[in-house]
Amino acid sequence: MIFTILTLFPEFFESPFKTSIIGRALKQKKIEIEIINIRDFAEGKHRVTDDEPYGGGVGMVMKPEPIIKAIKYLKTKAPSAWITMLSPQGRVFNQQVAFELSQKGHLAFICGHYEGIDERVRLFVDDDISLGDFILTGGEPAAICIVDAIARLIPGVVGKQESVEEESFSQGTLEYPHYTRPAVYEGYKVPEILLSGHHQNIARWRRQQALLRTLILRPNLLAKGELCDDDAAFLKEICQKLDALFFKKHD
């Protein structure tokens, strides 16, 4: 998998991609990350990449020419590169989108700045993604998050593929709670079932805990997830207990 990032601030990425799992994946050539400086494609002595918006208004807008030239340059080297603009107008990024994009061979992300990017750039992109309903100073932080989320889905980047498949959102639920040594800390104990060595019961407990946590914290995810009969029966039992508790308190 190749990632290309088009940005005005290449130095933004110098440290984040050198550490942890992503840094190791780069060294092992599981992934490649290329940074393209949009300013290199700007004209004039000062390499200006922004200008005042037509129609007036506050702030500056990124000019179309440098970005489009950078895209065309990339396309001459990698015709199949999937060009994505990072902007608040895009579809919201989530684990499903991460899985979808992880199937591509080459992803390119355009990092916006200022008040936005000249609308004509959209004529040269394949996708438009937002990290969420909030505003960042630019697309660079979003690019780091998105590359990280996608890269760890590439086989071999994370040590055990099973750990990726069991993570939050991967199965339509939040992840079950984790515990490690010591078994007792300041009187707080690890659940006995995790010490039992009974793998089938542990697997059932973990699944039920994931369902319960999702029901409490993110119930909207359950409507999208694939629930088996055991899942449905467990959730029904929990809801019945909650109903009984609620009505008992209010009789």
Contact 41/73 with Cβ under 8 angstroms? yes
Alpha carbons 217 and 13: distance in angstroms, whole number: 33
Which of these, 86, 168, 160, 75, lies nearest to 127 by C-alpha position? 86
Of 127, 151, 175, the position where a domain reaches its end is: 151
CATH number at residue 115: 3.40.1280.10
121 with 204, same domain: the answer is: no
Domain of residue 111 covers 2-151
146 with 93, same domain: the answer is: yes
3-state SS assignment for residue 47: coil
CATH number at residue 236: 1.10.1270.20
125 with 198, same domain: the answer is: no
Alpha carbons 29 and 147: distance in angstroms, whole number: 15
pLDDT in tens, the chain (251 residues): 999 999 999 999 999 999 999 999 999 999 999 999 999 999 989 999 999 999 998 899 999 999 999 999 999 999 999 999 999 899 999 999 999 999 999 999 999 988 899 999 999 999 999 999 998 999 999 999 999 999 999 999 997 654 565 555 656 788 999 999 999 999 999 999 999 999 999 999 999 999 999 999 999 889 877 899 999 999 999 999 888 887 765 55
Which of these, 201, 225, 200, lies nearest to 214 by C-alpha position? 225
